[in-house]
Amino acid sequence: MSSYDNVFVLDHPLVQNKISLIRDINTKDKQFREIVAELAILIFYEASRNLKLKDKNITTPICDTVGKTIRDEIAIVSILRAAIGMENGILQMAPNVKVGHVGLYRDPETLTPVEYYCKLPNDIAERKIFLLDPMLATGGSAAAAIKFLKSRGAKDITFLCLIAAPDGIKKINLEYPDVKIYTTSIDKKLNDHGYIVPGLGDAGDRLFGTK
Ligand code: PRP
Ligand code: URA
């Protein structure tokens, strides 16, 4: 938990070590992508701690027994494009989850989100949703995605990001107090261009080498 409501900061040493590596301007695309995927797995691991289980009959090489399997239906929803880096990690660990995509980019002048794509599982309203975006800056993109998911009936949304700014956290807390946020860091502030300080720069550009 953090000093904000509903915000969980992963303070595990492995996580903190990895987030420092990808903040570093000298970390190249390949390693950046690998670490984003690893961090996403670790954040998802923590955020999914309260998933419901059900019994499952299993036959081991020794005998019959009753094990556990996950009862909740899950979807991860990636805010394009930077969340693709997180999605790739989570799908390694949980290959059977359904995946939705919401395409949003921030208008560089107004910093408001512009939607350009959306494809969600048909039964999204029944699923426990983990919404992914590495960066929570002004919170405009996350809020727009949450609004959209709720308009499609979503009732259970958890937001997973690598780095959060206080502005974004306050916006989500205020507009969507039911949405929990999992992150590895709450950074100091936003700069005049809406970038997180100290942050890690433009997550999409660093993942895909577009700058
Ligand atoms: C980045 C990031 C978030 C958004 C966060 O995406 O991946 O989606 O900015 O900023 P906000 O909290 O102020 O809305 P960007 O708009 O750069 O698009 P991209 O993923 O296509 O690079
Ligand atoms: N989007 C990014 O990719 N980085 C930031 O710091 C803010 C928004």
Q: Which ligand is nearest to the CA of 208?
A: 1
Quick check: is 61 in a domain? no
Task: Give ligand 1 pocket residues (Cβ under 6 A).
Answer: 79, 81-82, 104-106, 111, 113, 133-142, 168, 194, 202-204
Quick check: is 63 in a domain? no
Quick check: is 106 in a domain? yes
Report CA(73)–ligand 1 centroid distance (Å): 27
Can you tell me the distance from the alpha carbon of 77 to that of 79, in angstroms, rounded to the nearest whole number?
7
DSSP string, 81-139: TTTHHHHHHHHHH-TTSEEEEEEEEE-TTT--EEEEEEE--TTGGGSEEEEE-SEESSS
Residue in 40, 49, 4, 45 with CA at minimum distance from that of residue 19: 40
Active-site residue, selected from the candidate residues 81, 106, 127, 206:
106
**Lookup: tokens for 167:** 């502005």
Quick check: is 81 in a domain? yes
Quick check: is 2 in a domain? no
pLDDT of residue 5: 83
Kindly give the parts of the chain with pLDDT less than 70. 1
Active site residue 123: no
Domain that holds residue 180: 7-52+70-208
pLDDT of residue 1: 65
pLDDT of residue 4: 87
Using most ligand atoms within 8 A of CB, pick from 79, 102, 106, 132 the residue to mutate for ligand 1: 106
Active-site residue, selected from the candidate residues 11, 29, 69, 110:
110
Can you tell me the distance from the alpha carbon of 134 to that of 22, in angstroms, rounded to the nearest whole number?
11
pLDDT of residue 2: 79
Residue 18 belongs to domain with CATH number: 3.40.50.2020
Quick check: is 58 in a domain? no
pLDDT, one tens digit per residue, over 90-132 is 999 999 999 999 999 888 889 899 999 999 999 999 999 999 9
* Greatest distance between any 2 Cα atoms in the chain: 65
Minimal-distance CA residue to ligand 2 atom 3 = 202
Cα within 13 Å of Cα(79), Cβ side: 29
Quick check: is 103 in a domain? yes
78-111 residues labelled b (16+ CB within 10 A) or e (exposed):
bbbbbbbbbbbbbbeebeebbbbbbbbebeeeee
Amino acid at 198: P
pLDDT of residue 43: 98
Can you tell me the distance from the alpha carbon of 92 to that of 143, in angstroms, rounded to the nearest whole number?
27
The total number of structural domains that make up the chain = 1
Active-site residue, selected from the candidate residues 72, 156, 167, 202:
202
Alpha-carbon distance values, 79 to 65, 84, 156, 188 (Å): 41, 8, 17, 23
Can you tell me the distance from the alpha carbon of 205 to that of 33, in angstroms, rounded to the nearest whole number?
11
Quick check: is 64 in a domain? no
Answer for the pair 38, 18: CB distance below 8 angstroms, yes or no: yes
